[in-house]
Amino acid sequence: MSEAPKTQRTGLARALSKLGFCSRTQAFSLIRSGRVRLNERPVRDPETPVRLGKDRIEVDGKQVDPAGKVYLMLNKPRGLVTTRSDEKGRKTIYSLLPDYSDWLAPVGRLDMASEGLLLLTNDSNWGARIASPGAHVEKTYSVRIDAVADEALLHRLRNGIRTGDGDLLAAKRAGILRLGKKNSWIEIVLDEGKNRHIRRMLSQLGIEVLRLVRVAVGSVQLGDLPKGKTRPLTDKEKEALARKK
């Protein structure tokens, strides 16, 4: 007779995260403050082994069940930080999510001065696949700069620019959207996500970014979603992103 498969064990903090209740960092805090019980016993060690699907976990006396999976897009306004809380007291994107009490994590980030399409989910495996550098999911940006773009500039962006600290920053594709007398809108497509990639790349050329809007992640378009609003991803959008290699 074959042996029954062993129940997989995981640490208590990670279990709370996998159930979609909160982040691992938040789970550590909840456990250490004595608010979590495992099989009706208080536990203060975040690494306590848990058998997911068998053990009973409670937070503040309420049983934690697997959260329904949530997949959202947000049109992030300028001036918000992409964190749940900020040590400097700045307003965060979570001020725009009052209808979602479950823990949602951003898939990638947009800096405080940037705006546009931001994905959020409580499906950590799905989010990790999309955010992984190896996935090479394209991100498309509309960028307003304080210079009149030409083919020479686009060529330099596509070929890559070496920063003072040795980073090579390049656009996968770059093109002109609109030209003005003193500034212009250009489109930049990245398939990697280095910190402040576009701003640093253009800064090396003495060009200031006046506005930076992410308009697409893979085939998912921001479209006409109003600023500060969210909408669920469609099944087709979720599957298209998950399939991207």
DSSP string, 110-148: --TT-EEEEEEES-HHHHHHHH-GGG---EEEEEEESS-
**pTM given for the model:** 0.77
Residue 48's CATH number: 3.10.290.10
pLDDT at 29: 92
Residue 36's φ and ψ, nearest 5 degrees, are -115, 135
Residue 129 domain-assigned (yes or no): no
Residue 116 domain-assigned (yes or no): yes
Q: Which domain holds residue 170?
A: 139-217
Same domain, 213 and 172: yes
State yes or no: is 111 an active-site residue: yes
Q: Residues 127, 105: contact at Cβ < 8 Å? A: yes
Please tell me the total count of domains within the chain: 3
Residue 149's CATH number: 3.30.2350.10
Q: Residues 229, 100: contact at Cβ < 8 Å? A: no
Distance CA 163, CA 167 (A): 5
pLDDT at 107: 92
Give me the chain's average pLDDT, please. Answer: 89
Q: What pairs with residue 120 in β-bridges?
A: 72, 106
Which of 2-16, 72-86, 155-169, 186-200 shows the lowest mean pLDDT across its residues? Answer: 2-16
In the numeric block, which tokens belong to residue 40? 């009706």
Residue 146: HSE in the Cβ half-sphere, 13 Å Cα cutoff: 8
Read off the pLDDT band of 86 (50, 70, 90): confident
Which one of the listed residues 111, 146, 150, 224 is annotated catalytic?
Answer: 111
Q: Residues 51, 7: contact at Cβ < 8 Å? A: yes
Read off the pLDDT band of 244 (50, 70, 90): low
Residue 95 domain-assigned (yes or no): yes
pLDDT at 84: 77
Residue 236's CATH number: 3.30.70.580
